[in-house]
Structures are given as C-alpha cells and as structure tokens.
Amino acid sequence: MTRKQVHLAAHFPGVNNTTVWTDPRSGSQIDFASFVQLARTAERGKLDFFFLAEGLRLRELKGRIHDLDVVGRPEALTVLSALAAVTDRLGLAGTVNATFNEPYELARRLSTLDHLSEGRAAWNVVTTSDAFTGENFRRGGFLDRAYRYKRATEFLRLARELWDSWRPDAIAVDPETGTFVRPGAIGAVEHSGEHFTVQGQFTLPRSPQGRPVIIQAGDSDEGREFAAANADVIFTPHGSLEDGKRFYADVKRRLAKYGRGPHQLKIMPGVTFALGDTEEDAAENAAHIRRQQVGPQTAIAFLEQVWGRDMSAYDPEGPLPDIEPDLSEGVSQGRVPIKDRAGVAAKWRALAEEKGLSIRELVIEVTGRQTFIGTPESVARLIDEHVQADAADGFILVPHLTPGGLDEFVDRVVPLLQERGAFRADYTGATLRDHLELA
C-alpha cells in the first residue's frame, strides 16, 4: 500500500504577530522580489501551493493604526497573476472575501488566474462581515453575521454556474467555416436569488481546472458545514495532534451528507516551525523567535485586548498589575474579538502568579509556541506522523521571516519527507488539483 501523502503549502508571512519584521534578515512584504523569492523556494520544495491572506481594513488599536505587526498587504489575485509568470507548477491560492465582492466580477478574475497559470488557481473563500471592515465598501457594514455563509453559498453556486457555462469544446477556431465559437456552446446564466441576480453569459471560456480549487478558512459550525459542502481544502488553526484529530474526524464525518468522500476535502492546518541542529538548538531558536514575536510593546498590546484598558504605563518586563479588566468595550478593531475577557484575564493572572511570569513572559506563554520544534529529522517525523494519524492531510507552513523563512525547511526537512516516501520527489501533474490528488 502506498503511504498517505503529505500536502504542503507556503503562507506568505502577513499581517500578524507571527511575522518578525524587526529581524535584520527580514525584507519587504510588498516588493515583488519578496513574493518571487518565497514562491520560487516553495516550488523548489515541490510544495502544493503558495497562499496569500487578505485584509480589507487596517487594524486599529486604541483608535490608531496597529503598526506593531507588518502593515500594508497588496491585493492577492494581482500578486498571484504576476507570480504565474515566474513559476511553472506551484499552485496559487488567494484569499478573497465573499461578502464585499460581486460573483460575476470575482468569477472572471479567478478564471483569468486559472487561464494565466494553466490550471493552478485556488480561492480561499472568507466571509468577514464586520461593520468596521464594511465601512471601506460602498454599502457599508450591510451584511448581518447570520447571513455570511448564506451569501457565500449563493456566491459560490453562481460562480460555478458561470465557470461551467461554456462547453469544454466551445472554441472551434475553424477558418474554413468562419467559426470561432461553436454555436450554442456558450450557455446562458440566469440566476435570481436572495443575494444576487445575474442574467447573461460569462465572458471567458472554461479554464484549465474548470473551476479554481476552493479553500475554506472559518471555524464555526456553519463554516465547517460550508466546507463540507463546497471546499477542496480547509485552512484551519487546529494543528496539534489531538485537536487536529478531533477537527479532522468532525469535518470528514460531515462529507457523506453532501455525497462526498473523505479524499475530496484536504485538511491543512496552518503551522509554524523552528529548526535546529540538535533538539536543544531548536528549543533555543524557538524561544528566540517567540521573544522577537512578542516584543515589549506587543506584550502590552496583547494585554490591552484582554483588559480593555490603556496599559502603556506598565513595564512589560515587570509583573501583571493588580487591576481589573474593563469589560465595557474592546480596544482593538479588525481582529477576531476575544470571547470571555474576564475569564481569560483570571486565567492569565493565575498562570502569571503560579509561574512568576512578567507581562511579556506571560504573553509569550499564552500566545502559543511553534507547532513543530526540533531537528529536521524530528520535524519531518512529526509532520508525517500527524498526517498518518489523520490529524491532517498536510500543512500550510507559516514562516516567521519574509522572504527567506522557508529556505531551511525546503533545504533540510523536505528531503527527509521525500526519503520517508511521504512527499513527492517531483510534481507529477500540471494543475493544483493534480497536486492535491483531487478529481
């Protein structure tokens, strides 16, 4: 029996506190050269795809732009279209919102990417509905949260009708008869639904994959159901062994209801990693990265999101002050709000007292260490074990440095996964669907 294969993707370090922009090795997050370097590294490592996230509004902290993290992220499909020209096999996945776009327009852009890249396009369908982001758009925060996946479902159904509307053999190019498109080969799309009304014909022939690969990245029950019904890949935060197994079983169980088999949906948690020549080196490297990720101001900013107060007067290297959280309103906007701030604050206080942690040490502790820490051998083994144990079908690697953060992984971990027979030695197909073993 052939070994279950690991799927790997590369996340371009983005707007989050994983990305260490203060490191001297860190480069631009917007120069095209950075995207090219990381994408080419991913392709050298034979990864399935390159992934870009999306942020449609700059995050704010205490009413000011939150610039402790990298700020300023270019538009994904434009970047991916440019990358299509400098890569050959790598899948190109872009996050684009189903709330703030129109199906006809986005279906065109995604189909174009699939044509330009010869079958390597993927769409990560996100559904952010918050009014804060909505202020940047024509109709403002018009979508009630309860409708986010209803709109996304109708959006995707309509996009599929558009993508499928040209017959595969539509283009005839027959100078003798003067026929460019076969008569009747372009179907009419007539859609009238709760969110969209479209009547017309799609402007593009069927693309090499027919439709882009669909990725989903939301964690609610509705999000999981949407993924089970529609997605080819789930990007999830559930990256640990036990948590991963639970999530995997939960989502794969939902597929039968939609007449789908377990292999038709790949589960790929986003994970971080820290490598070293020995286990001790790796642990030291991991701790160093965590201290870079949680600098003094970042530690205070994290605290403020839970306490809901201005905490800037406190020393981040000192103890947690004896002050209760203000639960009246949050201080940050554009981030997923923290649930049960009173409970979180009590838990953090107990932990800080028990372990004698400073504010910064506490934030380092509670914001989680890297998913995989170890020598290249142990990280390759762990990745393979997670996949064989059905905790995942693979991983979206989130490096902490732009643009060189994937080099060591590709040079040292990928060859060991290949030796284990768990990862391809070369691409065997041309399209992203081929890489993902999807029909």
Ligand X SMILES: Cc1cc2nc3c(=O)[nH]c(=O)nc-3n(C[C@H](O)[C@H](O)[C@H](O)COP(=O)(O)O)c2cc1C
Contacts to ligand X by CB under 6 A: 53-54, 95, 97, 126-128, 148, 217-220, 222-223, 235-237, 270
The token duo for 50 is 């390159």
Specify the amino acid at residue 243: D
Q: Which of 113, 69, 108, 68 is nearest to 91 (CA)?
A: 113
Residue with tokens 């008869």, as numbered in its chain: 177
Q: Which of 368, 300, 312, 305 is nearest to 337 (CA)?
A: 305
Handedness of CA 256, 258, 261, 267 (dihedral sign): negative
Q: Which residues contact 232 (CB under 8 A, 6 or more apart)?
A: 122, 213, 214, 215, 264, 265, 266, 433, 436, 438
**Identity of the residue, 97 or 292, whose beta carbon is nearer to ligand X in the bound complex:** 97
The token duo for 334 is 């554009």
**Identity of the residue, 220 or 428, whose beta carbon is nearer to ligand X in the bound complex:** 220
Give the integer Cα–Cα distance in Å for 385 and 392.
Answer: 10
In the bound complex, what is the minimum distance in angstroms from residue 303's beta carbon to ligand X? 24
**Identity of the residue, 189 or 233, whose beta carbon is nearer to ligand X in the bound complex:** 233
In the bound complex, what is the minimum distance in angstroms from residue 126's beta carbon to ligand X? 3
Specify the amino acid at residue 145: R
**Identity of the residue, 119 or 269, whose beta carbon is nearer to ligand X in the bound complex:** 269
**Identity of the residue, 233 or 286, whose beta carbon is nearer to ligand X in the bound complex:** 233
Q: Which residues pair with 91 in a beta bridge?
A: 49
In the bound complex, what is the minimum distance in angstroms from residue 267's beta carbon to ligand X? 12
Q: Which residues contact 55 (CB under 8 A, 6 or more apart)?
A: 14, 15, 73, 334
Give the integer Cα–Cα distance in Å for 121 and 213.
Answer: 6
In the bound complex, what is the minimum distance in angstroms from residue 7's beta carbon to ligand X? 16
Give the integer Cα–Cα distance in Å for 61 and 302.
Answer: 10
**Identity of the residue, 56 or 331, whose beta carbon is nearer to ligand X in the bound complex:** 56
Residue with tokens 């206080």, as numbered in its chain: 349
In the bound complex, what is the minimum distance in angstroms from residue 96's beta carbon to ligand X? 9
**Identity of the residue, 41 or 97, whose beta carbon is nearer to ligand X in the bound complex:** 97
**Identity of the residue, 7 or 148, whose beta carbon is nearer to ligand X in the bound complex:** 148
Query: What are φ and ψ of residue 71, in 5° steps?
Result: -120, 140
In the bound complex, what is the minimum distance in angstroms from residue 24's beta carbon to ligand X? 27
Give the integer Cα–Cα distance in Å for 371 and 396.
Answer: 11
Q: Which of 183, 380, 141, 389 is nearest to 282 (CA)?
A: 380
**Identity of the residue, 223 or 399, whose beta carbon is nearer to ligand X in the bound complex:** 223
